[in-house]
Structure formats: structure tokens, C-alpha cells
Amino acid sequence: MSQSVNLIPDQEVQEQTQKKVVKLSSLFSILVLVVTSGVSAYFIYQTTDISKQIKSEDDKITSLRSQIQSMSSMEITARNLGKKYNSIKQLIQNRPYYSLLMEEFRTRKPTEIYIRNFTVLKENKIAITGQAQTYITITTFGNNLLAKEISNGNPKLAGLFKSIILNQVDLSQAGTVDFSMTIEYDPTKLTYAE
């Protein structure tokens, strides 16, 4: 069998191995440096791109906020219009009932009572202010309103007026009596009286 004889000294072999290792490690380091630089460049590009997108979206948000702010007066107007529409709609729907209420009120009011103000309030109440010749006329008026039935009144509206609160009574210098009262009525009676 033939044997190969290595004529290169050991030190030379070590130097060659060292050179190869240094060369390979240098190539590896350069390769890692290039890859790291590429990845860094990619991340820098992505960060810059994302920053641009964020700025663009912030600009859009600012623009939309200013548009919303410019529409706030329109929103207030629309809300007020909606409230007015609902009030008018309710008034038109309840107009026949108010006519019945006014007619029954007129029937129960003595001729000696003069009504200055008649206001239909929420919660089925009426606020009135007026003038009477005497205190007894105001008492008669209150009794007429609370009476279940009254001559010339609509029998279907018996018990329409539920309670009366006399808010103020003043004797004027002319000798008449000024008064204000709140009257509570039953709206279900109005719907059945049609």
C-alpha cells in the first residue's frame, strides 16, 4: 500500500489553515454586515413609509374634524327643526282634542270671568290667568270645572277636569279680583268624546 508523504512542515500547514479560517471568517463577517445593512435599510425604509402614512392620516383626520366643526351649526339647526316639527305634529294631531277641551272649558266658565291667558302645559295641565268680579265668582268657576256634569256640557266629558290649584288671588284697585290657577285634566276623556 502506498503511503503519502507530506513534505509540508506542520507550521506551514497551521499558517495555511489560519489563513483559510481568517479568510472564511472575514467573508462571513462581510456577509453578515451586508445582510444586517440590508435589513437595517429595509427597516429604515419601512419606518419612513409608516411615518409618512401616519402624517397623511393625521392630515385627513384634521381635515375631517374641521368639516365636522363646520357642520355643528347645521346639526343644531336640524335638532331645533326636529323639535319644532314634533311640536307642530303633536299640535296638529291633538287639535281636535284641544277644541273639545276649549269648548268644555268655555261651557263651564261663568260669564263674569274674563280669561286673559290660557296655556296648555305639559303633564296634562292648563295655566290660566284672568279677572273676576268677586271671589265668589272664582269659587263658582272652580266648582263648575270640578263638577262631573254641567248643563250645556258634553256628557262624554264628565269628569274631564281633575283638580284645580289656585296660585294667586289679588284684589285690584278697580274692585275686581285678578287670579291665576292651574287646572289638571284627563286627556283620555278627550279621546273618548269624539
Q: What is the pLDDT of residue 90?
A: 72
111 within some domain: yes
172 within some domain: yes
Supply the CATH number for residue 183's domain. Answer: 3.30.1360.100
**pTM of the prediction?**
0.52
Reading the chain (194 residues) residue by residue, the pLDDT tens digits are 566 666 667 777 788 888 888 889 899 999 999 999 999 999 999 999 999 999 999 999 999 988 888 888 888 888 888 888 887 777 677 666 777 888 888 888 999 999 999 888 878 888 999 999 999 999 999 998 888 877 777 778 888 889 999 999 998 888 889 999 999 988 888 776 55
Nearest CA to 167 among 178, 152, 151, 154? 178
- How far apart CA 13 and CA 67 sit, in angstroms, is 80
Q: What is the pLDDT of residue 4?
A: 67
Q: What is the pLDDT of residue 139?
A: 92
Range of the domain at 106: 95-192
169 within some domain: yes
- How far apart CA 7 and CA 133 sit, in angstroms, is 147
Q: What is the pLDDT of residue 45?
A: 93
44 within some domain: no
Concatenating the DSSP letter of every residue in 80-141 gives HHHHHHHHHHHHHHHHHHHHHHHHHHHHHS-TTEEEEEEEEETTTEEEEEEEESSHHHHHHH
- How far apart CA 107 and CA 14 sit, in angstroms, is 130
Q: What is the pLDDT of residue 169?
A: 92
158 within some domain: yes
Tally of domains within the chain: 1
60 within some domain: no
144 within some domain: yes
Q: What is the pLDDT of residue 194?
A: 56
Please answer whether residues 144 and 107 qualify as being in contact, where contact means their C-beta atoms are separated by less than 8 angstroms.
Answer: no
65 within some domain: no
